[in-house]
Structure 1
Amino acid sequence: MIEKDNLQEAEGTIEKPIPKEENTIAEDKTKSSEEIDATESVDSTEKDEDVVNEIEESNAEEGEDDGVKERHRIELKDYEAMSMEDIISEFNRLVKHEKVQAIKSHVDQIKKEFGKKFNHFLEEKKEEFIADGGNEVDFYYSSPLKKRFNDIYKEFRNKRTAHYKDIEQNLKENLKNRLSIIEEIKGLLNVEESINSTYKHFKELQESWRNAGPIPRNDYRDVWNNYHHHVENFYDFLHLNRDLRDLDFKHNLELKLKIIEQAEELAKEENSNRAFRELQALHKMWKEELGPVAKEHREEIWERFSSATKKIHENRQEYFANLDKIYEQNLIKKNDIINKIDLVAEDESNNHSAWQKKIKIVEALREEFFQAGKVPVKVNEATWKKFKESVRSFNRKKNSFYKGLKKDQFENLKKKLELIKIAEENKDSEDFKTVTPLMKKIQSDWKSIGHVPRKDSDRIWKQFKGACNHYFDKFHANKKEANKEENEALEKKNALLEKLKGIKLSGKQKEDIE
């Protein structure tokens, strides 16, 4: 057998063919890298578009109804940390004193938090009802708080319905008017008149457009894009009179550059939410108030404006990221509170005094939970569910204890009613020798029996005390009468003794006897 010469291979002079499979992998890796770059580019573009879309949607909403802008001024409070009473008070204030179209997000949050708190409260009441021996199907709870909330919410809905009914027809008319203006601008390209007359007509149409009023938000983007498209077409048509066109282009460029400078300054603003709101106003001006610029500047200035927009958006996202960190800390606090409630529920102390102490601890922990602040949205419902279950577990044990306690108290009530019966039956007896020990015994038994339901306590005590007092008043009166006769006899004896002391003896027996 001839041995293979490995010398060349060892020195690396022979090239090994790359297996087909390895070639495929290498090609796939190169392709994958290119795809990633392309995907990242697309994702970046899509994100930029999403930011602009978000701004335009907000502007469309505010453009439809100018009063919506007021929402940025109205504080969105931490309704989770508020009691049901405070939530209702704030709800009433908003409905009474703020524009109904500006408080939608506030009302949505209020409705959510009040509903959450009230349902939890109602569940506790139901469990107490069942623990007291009630049937679940018979449970009914009427809450003045819930009625008050419903009344305010009804007022809010009525105001909102009336408001949007008023503006609905105006929005439709404005839309019709704007579409008509667009058609007129389109028609300018085919008008046979001097370019100066056409340009003057165009400027009049632009002025009409600016004063045409708000339109339905669903039509906002399409209508405005359509308008800008035909305005640009008209300016392209004006190439026959470059002076007029270039003058407008120059004016628009100057204004758009000022907007860009403002946006770039906003990118340095620390308050990212305020910066974003002001950015919305700049986008509104850019889109609604300014016309096109020369083609050679269009992409450049839009890229610059988009870059500033992106920076402001990134600042805002960073703010929300930091907010998420705070929410994560709040989550840790809330989970710690839930664990503390579980520990209290596991405490085996099982007397009234201990339970009253535990109830106070859990009430304080509940309040601490509501004051702990918001948690990340993704775990909000799960955290609330966990909290409710811990409180429910505690309440079940509490209700079980007091159910047993009430059973004992009911037995005590029966025993004390038996003692009252004995006292009532014997209160008029004159067999003091027999009855007095009996009455003293039932008084001693009364003290040893223990508590009865609070609602019966005063009533039965007065009844028992009255019967006992009646008997012993009679007993003492009889004893006093007997003592009176004894006292009279004693007084007579004492008087006789005093008389005897006053007699002087003569020493003569016969005379002294007489």
Structure 2
Amino acid sequence: METKDQTNQNPEEKIIKSQGENSQSVENADIKKETDTALPVEEQGAEDVGELDEGTETPSQELKNEKDTVEVNAAVPDTPEEKTELQPEAVEETAPEEKEEEIVAEEAEVEPEADEGEKPVDKEEDKGMPETSSDKSVEAEKEVKKVVVDKEPQKNVDLVGGSEPENIEGEDDQEEVDEEDSDEVPIESKPEIKYDELSRDKLVEMLESTVNEGEVQQIKSQVAQIKVAYLKIKKKVEEQEIANKVEPVEGEVEKEPETDPLELRFNEAFNIYRKKRKQYLNEQERIKQANLEAKKVILEELKALIDSEESLRKTYDEFKVLQERWKEVGMVPKEELNNLWQSYHFFVEKFFDKVKINRELRDLDMKKNMEAKLTLCEKAEELLIENSILKSFKDLQKLHDKWREVGPVPQDKRDELWDRFKSTTDKINQRRHEHYLKFQEEQKSNLMAKTALCEKAEELVAKENTSIKHWQLNTAEITDLLKVWKTLGPAPRKQNDEIWERFKSSLDSFFSVKKEYFQKIKDEQQNNYNLKLDLCTQAEAIKSDTDWRKTTADLIKLQKEWKEIGPVPRKHSDKIWKRFRAACDEFFNNKSEFFANIGKHEIDNQKLKEELIEKVKSFAFEGNDKNKNLEVLKGFQREWTNIGHVPIKEKNRLQNELREAVNIRLDELKISQAEMQSASYRQRMENIKDKPDSRRILYNERNFLSNKRNKLIEEIGLWENNLGFFAESKKANLLKEEFEKKINKAKGELELLKAKIKFLDKQGD
């Protein structure tokens, strides 16, 4: 029985190519010459191309009317200084007679420095079963028993090997992601390890353990994650070294960098992994050659079966055995894949002609296939509302793999189903394409901003600093530049390293000159340290004195002297401050405890507070002036604080009654949430006065607010100064708008902090 599909009309030329010059020709004089149709599997890059196993062979009859689409991976950067570059999506190339298109097996990379490669081009498999050429053959098919044909195996495109970490000591990244990824053996599910939270030591130990104990086909993903985490830590260490140069240098002679033993161990372990993987790939190639010979033997047996004159039942049983054997044989060399499949498909078609497969069975299979592909279309359309672009693309690739697994559908539904599936695919690919175009624009904007920072840094390096104040001011500016730099994303990959080296060179020059200058003031810092040691000794000598008035004055005097003394060497600063503060805190805590136990007028104070509670409850508000009435309530609270201590057993009761009364009156005023919070804060701070250690609590509260205020002032100043950096930039308005939003928000918080500090200062008076 002849088929209408010209791609299967005469595959004898393919059989001769795959079996050698001595292969016997198939006896079929009526078959027309077959058009030479090859399975196009082109490698656009050495990376991220999955090996095609026996489950990826594509029947030649399903290769017509297809469209090849090639899209190129894009790398997503991780850190500002890491290399990133987006490459354009590839252009579709369409043959004149093609109708259907297939998805590119492309994968977005998530780690920097990895070489980018293109995915292989997949083909649309659903072109239907061949049609018979005569009504007579159709009638004959109804009398034949069911014969189930091998379902076309899927094309297994590697979606894993797309995010290799950057090179270590000349390593070839392309060797890490190769054609054998499809053979990777799944391992037992284990608890997820957060590699980003591990130290370098732990990462190196895990890498050594993994490469020495695990199977190479099972550990690829784990090795890659360890490597990425390790390189991130290494990058942070380098950035920290730069940041540390901002502080005054103690004067130690700068040493040459030493060889990092962890780096040596890491490289040694990674080389062990590469060696094992190379051995594994060589073994896989040997297996493929053996599989090729095995499949050639099956083809010879299949040809002999077609020519045999045995009964239909026996022939069918033998045919099923050959099909099972064909499926059990593993991967073969890629260059032999197309010829093998065309030969196998040709003999299967010839067998169908021989046994006259029941056409109703094929129609039933096609109906089931149509339902399966309808389900795949619906799942693909659900991906249009997926928020994650990367996840939607990966899931779409899986749907295309499943699409290839499904057999042919009825001729009248084939184009309709494929057009629906491809339309959804095009929308998802277009969304991904637009995402990376936007990312490219952000990189260009970052380059302009970083260029402006480099120019400002070079101006600061050229300045002459003649005093510590000058150094401090310029150091603050250079530090601000570095902070702004860190807030910017990466520049385009080609310029990223160059612009970073330019900026880093300015920083190195600045801090090198600064180091020489501050070496000269080392002796002064040491003298300050000796003076503060003497103050610590004096404070410790009087911390247990019970002459509260005199000792309080003495300690305050020592504290003033402490502030007048200049800085000390950094390694002693924290320790000596804690020593001095501990002596002062011990005295003032003892003093607070002593006075807290004195209660001569506690009973009278209790009566006064009870009267004040009733006064709060019965007070009549004056008109609708909310602010004025709120000030009256605040006055009641201040009066409460001035009354003094009450018996300890009545303290909580009275405090709760006052709080309840005040809250009720606040509700009557219907003041805003912010006003209530402000009033609540004042009330809480005033209540602290009743505690024995109120002085220490208020002191710590003010320090906390003061530190927070200073930090906000510093950030606001930094952002306001940086607005001038982008004055000459093309994107100046966009950059200024972003910083102005931050500044306005911070100023609002700053005003609230100042109000709280002012209130605490009044309480201290």
What is the TM-score normalised by the length of structure 2? 0.37
Matches within 5 A, 1:413-424: none
Q: Distance in 2 between matches of 1:150 and 1:46?
A: 56
Q: Deviations over 1:433-458 (max 9, x none)?
A: xxxxxxxxxxxxxxxxxx9x989xxx
Paired residue secondary structure (2:356): helix
How many matched pairs?
357
Does the 8 A contact of 2:454 with 2:502 survive in 1?
no
Matches within 5 A, 1:19-418: 41-42=94-95, 48=101, 51=104, 53-54=120-121, 56=155, 57-58=157-158, 61-67=180-186, 99-103=218-222, 106=225, 140-142=256-258, 146-162=260-276, 165-166=279-280, 168-169=282-283, 172-173=286-287, 176-177=290-291, 179-181=293-295, 183-185=297-299, 187-191=301-305, 192=308, 193-213=310-330, 215=331, 219-220=333-334, 222-223=336-337, 226-227=340-341, 230-243=344-357, 247=361, 250-251=364-365, 254-255=368-369, 257-259=371-373, 261-269=375-383, 270-271=385-386, 272-285=389-402, 287=404, 293=408, 297=411, 301=414, 304-305=417-418, 308-309=421-422, 311-312=424-425, 314-326=427-439, 328-329=441-442, 331-333=444-446, 335-336=448-449, 339-340=452-453, 342-347=455-460, 348=463, 350=465, 351-356=467-472, 358-359=474-475, 362-363=478-479, 365-366=481-482, 369-370=485-486, 372-375=488-491, 379-403=492-516, 406=519
Q: Distance in 1 between matches of 2:436 and 2:220?
A: 27
For 2:502, the aligned partner's letter is E
Judging changes above 3 Å, is the alpha-carbon distance between structure 1 residues 141 and 393 closer, same or farther for their aligned structure 2 residues? same
Match of 2:581 in 1: none
Q: Distance in 1 between matches of 2:290 and 2:368?
A: 32
Judging changes above 3 Å, is the alpha-carbon distance between structure 1 residues 325 and 368 closer, same or farther for their aligned structure 2 residues? same
For 2:324, the aligned partner's letter is E
Q: Distance in 2 between matches of 1:147 and 1:247?
A: 68
Paired residue secondary structure (1:203): helix
Judging changes above 3 Å, is the alpha-carbon distance between structure 1 residues 155 and 382 closer, same or farther for their aligned structure 2 residues? same
Q: Distance in 2 between matches of 1:104 and 1:327?
A: 30
Q: Which has the larger radius of gyration?
A: 1
Structure 1 residue 117: Cα displacement: 7.0
Does the 8 A contact of 1:185 with 1:234 survive in 2?
no
Q: Distance in 1 between matches of 2:193 and 2:481?
A: 27
Matched residues, percent identical? 13
Paired residue secondary structure (1:243): coil
For 1:343, the aligned partner's letter is K
Does the 8 A contact of 1:333 with 1:372 survive in 2?
yes
Match of 1:10 in 2: none
Q: Distance in 1 between matches of 2:241 and 2:98?
A: 50
Does the 8 A contact of 1:100 with 1:160 survive in 2?
no
Q: Distance in 1 between matches of 2:375 and 2:321?
A: 30
Structure 1 residue 116: Cα displacement: 6.8
Structure 1 residue 266: Cα displacement: 1.4
Q: Distance in 2 between matches of 1:75 and 1:302?
A: 46
Q: Distance in 2 between matches of 1:201 and 1:93?
A: 52
Q: Distance in 2 between matches of 1:305 and 1:195?
A: 37
Q: Deviations over 1:365-408 (max 9, x none)?
A: 54554454445xxx2241332122122113213312433554x6
For 1:64, the aligned partner's letter is D
Paired residue secondary structure (1:230): helix
Q: Deviations over 1:179-238 (max 9, x none)?
A: 52354145423321334433333323333344444x37xx35852673365235412431
Does the 8 A contact of 1:68 with 1:102 survive in 2?
no
Q: Distance in 2 between matches of 1:358 and 1:157?
A: 46
Q: Distance in 1 between matches of 2:322 and 2:400?
A: 22
Paired residue secondary structure (2:104): helix
